[in-house]
Structure 1
Amino acid sequence: MATTQTDTSVDTNTPVDIAANLAQVRQRMVAAARRAGRDPAEVTLVAVSKTHPLEAIRAAWAAGQRDFGENRLEELWEKVEAARDAGLSDIRWHLIGTIQSRKTRQAVGPFVLIHSVDRVKIARRLSRDALEAGQVLDVLLEVNVSGEETKRGFAPDELLAEAPGMLQLPGIRIRGLMTMAPLVDDPEEARPVFRGLRELRDQLRARCPEGDWYHLSMGMTNDFEVAIEEGATLVRVGSAIFGARQA
């Protein structure tokens, strides 16, 4: 299924630009869902606000955006507190970056979803730390569908073997899968990766029906339309909304 490329460049990061960019991204999401015969309401936009200031988040919030994603735990906690102080208390924060094993305790917090559980060790440590804090964490298992050495995550066969055990861990609730496609010029080249994650999810549903395998977090600024066509329920979009990443 071919996808029409849309120019995602932006001029500045003023609130007007962010609102317009959000509107354009949402329109593209709706069109992609309809091309695939899906209900657009099945797909949640996670605005990736990493390195961008609170003013940018406030502008997106004012335009109706509520789900925001951050890569680094330190930056995420700073923004959680700053947003709360600014009255943006209804933001739903997503942790989308790699979690170091020594920092799992920091990942226990007011986050709606952790997208990046990339190995059994992290799942076990999150389970331990969540139990100590009296919380249950909703998490996604990160899968290296493309097999790239530079990517983190479970290999598909490894996940099929490890999933039953991880489903038994207290303190965490597995809600689905996440993947990152290779950076390519043509988003169609990412389609096999997204399709592979969906097919893996279907295998897990058959093998581990006790699990909740609803979510597929896949697709970013360059390829989110293809991801939606292949079944994404969460897309992580940054530069198409906020412009170039700030240092």
Structure 2
Amino acid sequence: MSTKRLVAYADLREPTPILRRVPPRTSPVWLRPVGYLSVTVIWFVVFLFAVGTVFFALPIALSNMSGHGGVRHSATFQRSDWVATVAVIMLFAAPTLGVVSYMLLCSSAGFTLNSLILFTRSFRFRYRDEMLSFGARTGGVGNVGGSEGSFNGDTISLTPFRMTRWSKIGTILVCNGTCLNINQFTLGAMWGPGFLFTSAWFFWPVSGVAEVLCAVTSIVFGACFLWVAWQRRHKFSDVMPGGFRKTPYEHSWPNTPPASRTRSR
């Protein structure tokens, strides 16, 4: 029997359970708003920390490293091997920074959105007899392209039992931030260098031709980032732990319906 017959495609206009059986709740109803409010606040703080670190703290730190005389007079550019140092930064350090930033922003934003949704659901009478969320166990590092696992096989918590479009958006963000996938490396590799060049002309004391070159380079990297993200827009929802395969999570909006996949092939 095909997967298409086993799992119908869901548009998520109504809360749709991921699992076949939704277990009953095990905690008092009054505790659930307190718990979900706590994790919402925690993840929102983590998200603010991620945004502050990536967009403010790092550029300011890089600016301070350049010294009062500007980038050209910093210690890095006074070394005899400064060309090799810059090459290592652009080929290794910058892409790594981009991948880590991508993961941190995606995961913290997704957990914040899901925890807020679960907090609002904790007041709903219709959910009083069932658990609101569960932990999706991943299998560790798996297929990078197929995104079968996370870095260490941890549990992805705060996964709603019932998916709506908003909660699936949050879960997609979480999966893209925690599961190994090609998006992290392609987008992160462009985000990192673009971030450094943008910091150079916007925050760092560069001037003249160097400022123009850095601005043009950052625009090019930014345009490439947006173009690749748009080209891969249908791939983000395919990033998921292996346990989500062949469930309503895989066969629901915005994933492509199984019939459409068959026709496209």
Structure 1 length as normaliser, TM-score?
0.22
The structure with the greater share of residues assigned to helix is: 2
Q: Give 1 or 2 for the bigger CA radius of gyration.
A: 2
Higher relative contact order (CA 8 A, sep 6+): 2
